[in-house]
Amino acid sequence: RADRAAIILCHTSNAGADEFQSLQIGERPLWALVAEQVAHHWNDNQNCMLVVGATYPEVLAQVRPIVGDMPLLVPGIGAQGGDVAAVVRQGVDSRGRGLIINASRSIIFAGAPATAAKQLRDAINQHRA
C-alpha cells in the first residue's frame, strides 16, 4: 500500500546473524536475496526500508549497490560495537544520505544521554563530510 511503510530485516546486527541470514540459497546468501526481492519487486511505491546491522559493514557495502538509494535502518552502533566511520563509508546512498543509524543502549544508559546523542550525531556528520 502506498500509504504504509515496510521495514524488512535483511542482515541484523546480532552476533548470530550469519547463522541464518547468510545461508546459501543457490550461490547467494539469503540476505542478498532479501535485498534484491525488496528492492526490485516490493518497492514500487518507494516505501520499503531494509535493516542492515552496523556490525557487518562488509554486508552493508554489498547491500547498498543492490538497493540503490533505498533508506537503510542501521542498528548496532554503540553497545554492539558497530563502527560509525565504516557504516557511513559503506552505507550512504548516491546523495550522501540514506541511513537511519540507531543507537540505543549507548545513549540511554550514558551518564549524560543528551551529550552521548550529540556526540554520535557529530561523529556521523563528520564522516559524511
Residues 22-63 pLDDT 10s: 999 999 999 999 999 999 999 999 999 999 999 999 999 999
Q: What type of residue sits at position 75?
A: P
d(CA 13, CA 42): 23
pTM of the model: 0.92
The pLDDT-based confidence of 129 (bands split at 50, 70, 90) is confident
d(CA 75, CA 15): 12
Q: Which grid coordinates belong to 118? A: 550529540
On whether the CB atoms of residues 65 and 23 are closer than 8 A, the answer is no
User: Cell 553497545 belongs to which residue?
Assistant: 79
Q: Tell me the domains of the chain and their CATH numbers.
A: 6-128 (3.20.20.70)
Span 53-87, pLDDT tens digits: 999 999 999 999 999 999 999 999 988 989 999 99
| Number of C-beta neighbours around residue 65 at 10 A | 8
